[in-house]
């Protein structure tokens, strides 16, 4: 099983919104074979708490334009790691330090990544 077209489209839109706010190391991981809850994880990093907040706001705005609303949002108070669950995709916006420590990229390395350049 692979990620749905809708999930890939949302992931690309979320990644583009994050990159517009200068997020670093933006990746999309197809977790559809491993998880029944979602198809794609989008992971992006910000250098400061303020940048993490800006990235989150941009992702929310862009996906809202596509008719996607978050089912769940966690981590707002600290702005170190914010999780946005849209059902088809889950967006993780992490402060650089949390990204390095929790290493989601390494945890899900057996899953294929999605080409975000197309």
Q: List pLDDT tens digits, range 6-55.
A: 999 999 999 999 999 999 999 999 999 998 899 999 999 999 999 999 99
Residue 69 within a domain: yes
Residue 46 within a domain: yes
Enter the tokens of residue 7: 């999930």
Residue 117 within a domain: no
Residue 39 within a domain: yes
pTM value surpassing 0.75: yes
Instruction: Give 106's contacts (C-beta < 8 A, 6+ positions apart).
Output: none
The answer for 112, left when phi > 0, alpha when psi is -120 to 50, beta otherwise, is: beta
Residue 70 within a domain: yes
**What's the pLDDT score for residue 77?**
72
**What's the pLDDT score for residue 1?**
62
CATH of the domain at 34: 3.30.460.10
- Over residues 66-108, the pLDDT tens digits come to 999 999 999 877 778 999 999 999 999 999 999 999 999 999 9
């Amino acid at each position: 099983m692979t990620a749905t077209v809708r999930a890939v489209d949302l992931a690309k839109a979320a990644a583009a919104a994050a990159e517009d706010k200068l997020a670093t190391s933006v990746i999309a991981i197809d977790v559809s074979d491993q998880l029944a809850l979602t198809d794609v994880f989008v992971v992006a990093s910000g250098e400061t708490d303020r940048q993490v907040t800006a990235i989150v706001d941009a992702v929310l705005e862009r996906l809202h334009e596509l008719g996607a609303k978050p089912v769940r949002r966690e981590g707002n108070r600290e702005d170190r790691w914010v999780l946005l669950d849209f059902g088809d995709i889950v967006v993780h916006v992490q402060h650089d330090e949390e990204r390095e420590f929790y290493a989601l990229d390494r945890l899900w390395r057996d899953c294929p990544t999605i080409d975000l350049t197309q």
